[in-house]
Every structure is written in structure tokens, then in C-alpha cells.
Amino acid sequence: MKRRKFLKNASLSTAAIAIAPTILSCKDNVKESDTQAIATIDTANNIPLVIATWDVKEATAKAWEVINNGGNALDAVEQGCMVEEANDKGQSVGKGGLPDRDGNVTLDACIMDKNGNCGAVVYLQNITHAVSVARKVMEETPHVMLAGDGARQFAISQGFQPEDLLTDASKKAWENWKLTSEYKPIINIENHDTIGMLAIDKNGDISGACTTSGLAYKMAGRVGDSPIIGSGLFIDNEIGGCVATGLGEEVVKTVGSFLVVELMRQGKSPQEACEEAISRIVNKPNSDYKNFQVGYIAVNKKGETGSYAIHEYFSMTKYQNEVNENIQADFIIKG
Ligand code: SD4
């Protein structure tokens, strides 16, 4: 277990007091920067909060309701993501998601809690609430990830009902796509995409989740970043959390969400950390970044948030201090 030192001059909020026993029980071997955030939690202004990728106010409202009713961040992010999974008008998550090139809707999702526990499903078919199956993997199995038919069978054994996820609208879109079969990432698809959500509850604890149908018309069997812990999502309850959207291959290659959290550990703000992680992608030799989108949102232990993308029109929804708002993210390609 990593060791943390308790800061002497802290004026502790409720949230910091709640986590103090863990910290007090392990005192040595600590870098000062690792502990800054813990000491300055400001429950009055910043916490609790919920943030999510894209304009998903109904989803953040659900997560906020869970937290407001005394629920924890893990329940909040699961239930928040479920709102979009059930929304069959959204063509990038859950029911109604655009299929792969063979016409099959396949879902990827993961979830991570305050203790660093995590669960994921990849290439899951016929089950709307992939995020909840991911949570069951985390809580009911000794594993982190289940794939394909194994994931589906596990879901059914846990009481999930199999159903057809391909809606008429998504089937029609796929049939139109087949006329040309042009395969390229679609930037900012319908301004609403993979949903990634991070929450801090009233105890100051952080959890996150991510759920998607992945890239539209992907190769059969393709899995992106969204269910990969460290790429699509990463949480460290002592530092913060990050979640990604966009072209998963590029996020995986830079282990994006883990990178953002590690940059925050080194002292960067969530905004600075997201910007640095995007720069890593853009500055790679021969990066084709003009033709794809990646966006990150992040939160630190103080409840400060950041968001950044390669292209314009990425956004973050934030529910904090009773305000549920969609905020356009800054981006690197200007002019
Ligand atoms: C993936 N990151 O499967 C997901 C999809 C996504 O914008 O977020 N698209 O690569």
C-alpha cells in the first residue's frame, strides 16, 4: 500500500476528516505533493460534484440525485451512465448504439471505485446496461474484465435481460453506411458520444465509469479505450480521476486517463493535466490528429475540474452547487 503523510497545517473539512484515519495509520515515505489535495478539500464550495463527457444533463442530474440522497459516488456514476445507456436515441451508448460493420451492437464499459477496485466488459452484446455488468464483474467475480459471450452469459446469470439493441434508426444508418463502407472515425458524432462520468460524494470519495458502443462501423471484435482501466478511465481516490472520449486507439497508446491522474499527482491542475495529455497525442511523430478527436475530463480531490480536446465542440457537463450546466471544452487546434 502506498504511504501518505498527514499534513500538519490542514484545516480539515468533513470530507478530509472522513479519510483521515487511513492517512493517519500510515505516516511515512510520502511526497508532499501527494498530500496537498487531501488537506485542502473544500466541501463548502466544490464537493460533492458530478462531471460527464458531452451534453448529458439528464445523466448528471440522476447522479446528483443519488449523491444528494446520501448515496455514494459509485452508485452515482453507475446510475448516471445508465440514463444514457437506456436512451435509445443516443447512437453511441447502450441501446440504440451504432453497430459494427456486420450490424452487431457491441458494448464496452468499465467502472472504478474509491478503493481502486474495478470491473469491465468488452464486446458485450444484447445487454443494455453494460456499466452495471462491469460493476457486477468488479463485485461478484475475482476478475477485472469479461469479454464477449462470457460477459453476456455472466450478465444473464446475474439477472440481466437479453434484448435486441439495434434500433430501426441505427439499422438504417448502418445500411446507409454500407453503400460506401467508408471507414473513418467520426469526429464529435452528433455532439454526444461515449459517456464517461466522474463523481465526488459527500464523503469526498471519488468513483468513475465509462460506457460506449465504440466506434461506429468498427471491425468485428474491435475494442477501444473505454473499458480499459488506465486508458478510458482511471481513479485514484487520493488524487482525482479522469475519463476519455474519442478515438480509443490513440487514448490507449498514451494510457491517457492514467497519465492525467499521474500528472495531477505531480501537481498539475486538472486542466493542465488534460492539456498535457492531449499534447502528448498531438506531438507524437506523424500524428494524424487533425483527423480524429480525443477529449478528456478530469477532477482532483479538491473538486477542481478540467476538460480539453483536440478539436472544437467537445464539452463537459458539470453538476455542482445545485447548478447542472454544459461547458464547452477548450481545444488545441485553433484557426
Ligand atoms: C472508442 N472512445 O471506442 C470510444 C468511442 C468514443 O468518440 O468515445 N468515440 O474508441
Nearest CA, atom 7, ligand 1: 246
Ligand 1 atom nearest to 223, measured from its CA? 3
Tens-place pLDDT, residues 263-298: 999 999 999 999 999 999 999 999 999 989 999 999
* pLDDT for 253 beyond 70: yes
In whole numbers, what is the pLDDT of the chain averaged over residues?
87
Q: How far is the CA of 215 from the centre of ligand 1 (A)?
A: 5
Q: Decide: residue 334, CB within 10 A, 0-12 exposed, 13-18 middle, 19+ buried.
A: exposed
Helix (H, G, I), strand (E, B) or coil at 192: coil
Please work out whether the CB of residue 128 comes within 6 Å of at least one atom of ligand 1: no
Ligand 1 pocket, 225 CB below 6 A?
Answer: yes
Confidence of residue 7 (pLDDT cuts 50, 70, 90): very low
Residue 171 has pLDDT above 50, yes or no: yes
Nearest residue to 271 (alpha-carbon basis) of 308, 306, 219: 306
Half-sphere exposure of 275 (CA within 13 A, CB side): 12
Residue 14 has pLDDT above 50, yes or no: no
Q: Using a 6 Å cutoff on CB, does residue 231 contact ligand 1?
A: no
Q: In the structure, how many helices (H) and strands (E) does the chain have?
A: 10, 13
The CA distance from 58 to 55, in Å, is 9
Bridge partner list, 53 = 316
Query: What gap in Å lies between CA 255 and CA 231, rounded to an integer?
Result: 5
pLDDT grade for 63, boundaries at 50, 70 and 90: very high
59-88 core/surface letters (b: 16 or more CB in 10 A; e: else): bbbbbbebbeeebbbbbbbbbbbbbbbebb
Output the DSSP codes for 38-59. Answer: HHT--TTTT-SEEEEESS-HHH
The answer to whether 211 touches 131, Cβ cutoff 8 Å, is yes
The pTM score is 0.87
Residue 13 CA neighbour count, 13 Å, CB half? 20
**pLDDT tens digit string along 70-117?**
999 999 999 999 999 999 888 889 998 999 999 999 999 999 999 999
Q: Binding site annotation covers 306?
A: no
- Give the C-alpha separation, 138 to 145, whole Å: 8
**Top-confidence residue, 33 or 8:** 33
Poorest-pLDDT segment among 120-129, 187-196, 230-239: 187-196
| Confidence check: pLDDT of 1 > 80 | no
- Of 321, 108, 63, 316, nearest to 207 by C-alpha is 63
pLDDT > 80? residue 132 = yes
Structural domains of the chain sorted by starting position, each given as residue range(s) with its CATH number in brackets: 3-331 (3.60.20.30)
Confidence bin at 183 (pLDDT 50/70/90): confident
Is residue 94 a known part of a binding site? no
